[in-house]
């Protein structure tokens, strides 16, 4: 039995946006901007650039390793199985702890 991948790109993007909860940025921006002497927009711009580069990297890896879709598989195939194992656990812990934000 295989999983059926029938999500469109639009659905995946919407799911990702809902998962990272853009409302967090709205709720903390005022506090961060006030305590950082106006550096907050730059920090958010740098973070956005880093996420864009990460997304482009995933797109490139998806072309190189078709049928994969997780950081575990990419790290295991491209680097080493031990690094894949550690990165898979790191992502799992991320999924557990992000909702606590």
Supply the DSSP symbol for 80: -
| Tokens 């195939």, located at residue | 77
Note whether 46 and 73 are same-domain residues.
no
Indicate whether 53 and 73 sit together in one domain: no
Domain encompassing residue 49:
1-64
The verdict on 37 and 75 lying in the same domain is: no
The per-residue pLDDT for 65 is 80
Please list the pLDDT of the chain residue by residue as tens digits (101 residues). 676 777 788 887 777 777 766 666 666 777 777 888 878 888 878 888 998 998 888 888 888 887 777 788 888 888 888 988 998 899 888 888 877 76
> Given this model, what pLDDT does residue 21 score?
63
Same domain, 6 and 47: yes
Handedness of CA 26, 30, 31, 36 (dihedral sign): positive
41 and 77 together in one domain: no
């Amino acid at each position: 039995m295989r999983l059926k991948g029938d999500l469109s790109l639009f659905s995946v993007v919407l799911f990702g946006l809902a998962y990272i909860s853009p409302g967090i940025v709205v709720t903390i921006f005022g506090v961060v901007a006030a305590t950082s002497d106006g550096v907050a927009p730059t920090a958010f711009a740098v973070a956005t650039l880093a996420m864009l580069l990460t997304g482009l990297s995933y797109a490139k890896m998806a072309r190189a390793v078709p049928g994969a879709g997780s950081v575990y598989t990419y790290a295991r195939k491209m680097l080493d199985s031990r690094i894949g194992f550690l990165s898979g656990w790191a992502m799992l812990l991320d999924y557990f702890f992000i909702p606590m934000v």
